[in-house]
């Protein structure tokens, strides 16, 4: 076989951090391929080159065809790929994480599995939304009540500022067109935010399904994190777009969200907020390690790729006294 063309796989330290990347790129009805270290996007208007390492997440909509070589490059550069439905409002699948460390994942699982620590993280999330309130002693029921009242106030304020009538959050997840313009805009805006939050979560090695406020869904933690920024980003954008009443409200909303977070600061904030929620002593090197260890109930972990148990070897045992099984390992042949 001849030499395989293409650039060498980059080292993890050489890749841009999540805070330095473009937030998201939505693509539909196009052909996605690869040219050196860039992905190429081709449709009837022509071809554009996008440096893969600058992307945080690629949202692939209907009609997007992507090559194996493009996926190889995207995977090597640590970008996430999320397959979505039309207008980006449905989620189907996503790619792999940027980090090689499981530290955040293990900490997240430990925190969410204990009622006391789970409630503490949930309170911390709500405190980020209510900086002027003391929520340290509130129950989840009280926190939900405060959140509901706050979000209703945000909707009323946005409606008053833009003149867009507001009759509540009503939409059909299976039929995007079956709602009024502002609810369509909200669905499209939130979908973009979910995609960005999801990409940061999986890039950092966390579990999208292990939520602290939301539960029982494969993206519970995505909803937890996205809720931190809706009142600041997606709700105002949705009402502003709805007040313009454009023909393709979904596309205009996506572009507005993209422009609002194009500087990458929201991705940097999401990454920092996740670390602050889950860890108190996070260091950068904890997230770029590529070391596999073995778990130990006393020491925490021991080195991998070490031949343990040599003291248990029986040197006088002949090799032909062993027979291989169809499963893992060997058994002694019956005498």
Which residue ranges make up the annotated binding site for Mn(2+)?
A: 147, 214, 227
- Cα–Cα distance measured from residue 142 to residue 235, given in angstroms and rounded to the nearest whole number: 23
SS3 content of the chain, % helix, strand, coil (to 5): 45, 15, 40
The answer to whether residues 213 and 280 touch, using CB atoms and an 8 Å cutoff, is no
Give the residue numbers of the binding site: 147, 214, 227
- Cα–Cα distance measured from residue 154 to residue 133, given in angstroms and rounded to the nearest whole number: 17
Q: Which long-range contacts (CB under 8 A, 24 or more apart) does 35-42 make?
A: 36/6, 36/7, 37/7, 37/73, 37/77, 39/70, 39/73, 39/74, 40/70
Secondary structure (3-state) at 171: coil
Task: Report residue 43 as tokens.
Answer: 């449709």
Question: How many residues would you count in the chain?
Answer: 335
What separation in angstroms does the CA of 240 have from each of 165, 262, 286, 322, 330? 12, 18, 41, 74, 68
Task: Report residue 241 as tokens.
Answer: 């777009």
Q: Which residue(s) pair with 59 in the sheet?
A: 26, 82
- Cα–Cα distance measured from residue 28 to residue 62, given in angstroms and rounded to the nearest whole number: 5
Task: Report residue 274 as tokens.
Answer: 């996740």
Q: Where are the beta strands (DSSP E) in the chain?
A: 25-27, 30-35, 38-43, 46-51, 57-60, 64-66, 80-84, 91-94, 293-296, 300-303, 322-324, 330-332
What separation in angstroms does the CA of 9 have from each of 12, 36, 66? 9, 11, 19
Q: CA 57, 60, 61 angle in degrees (round to 5)?
A: 140
């Amino acid at each position: 076989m001849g030499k395989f063309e293409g650039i060498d796989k980059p080292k993890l330290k050489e890749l841009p951090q999540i805070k330095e990347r473009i937030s998201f790129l939505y693509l539909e009805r196009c052909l996605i391929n690869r040219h050196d270290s860039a992905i190429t996007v081709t449709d009837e208007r022509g071809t554009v080159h996008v440096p893969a390492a600058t992307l945080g997440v690629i949202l692939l909509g209907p009609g997007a065809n992507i090559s194996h070589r493009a996926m190889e490059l995207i995977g090597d550069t640590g970008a996430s790929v999320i397959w979505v439905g039309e207008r980006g409002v449905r989620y189907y699948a996503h790619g792999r994480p940027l980090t090689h460390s499981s530290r955040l994942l293990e900490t997240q699982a430990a925190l969410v599995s204990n009622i006391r620590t789970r409630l503490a993280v949930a309170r911390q999330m709500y405190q980020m939304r209510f900086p002027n309130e003391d929520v340290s002693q509130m129950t989840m029921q009280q926190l939900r009540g405060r959140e509901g009242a706050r979000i209703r106030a945000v909707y009323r304020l946005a409606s008053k500022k833009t003149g867009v009538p507001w009759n509540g959050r009503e939409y059909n997840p299976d039929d995007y067109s079956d709602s009024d313009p502002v609810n369509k805009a909200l669905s499209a805006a939130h979908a973009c935010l979910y995609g960005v939050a999801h990409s940061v979560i999986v890039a950092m090695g966390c579990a999208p399904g292990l939520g602290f406020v939301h539960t029982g869904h494969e993206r519970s933690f995505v909803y937890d994190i996205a809720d931190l920024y809706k009142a600041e980003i997606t709700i105002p954008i949705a009402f502003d777009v709805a007040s313009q009443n454009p023909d393709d409200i979904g596309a205009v909303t996506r572009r507005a969200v993209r422009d609002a977070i194009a500087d990458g600061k929201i991705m940097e904030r999401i990454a920092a907020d996740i670390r602050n929620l889950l860890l108190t002593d996070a260091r950068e090197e904890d997230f770029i390690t590529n070391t596999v260890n073995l778990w130990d109930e006393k020491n925490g972990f021991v080195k991998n790729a070490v031949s343990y148990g040599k003291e248990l070897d029986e040197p006088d045992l002949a090799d032909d006294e062993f027979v291989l099984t169809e499963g893992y390992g060997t058994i002694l042949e019956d005498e």
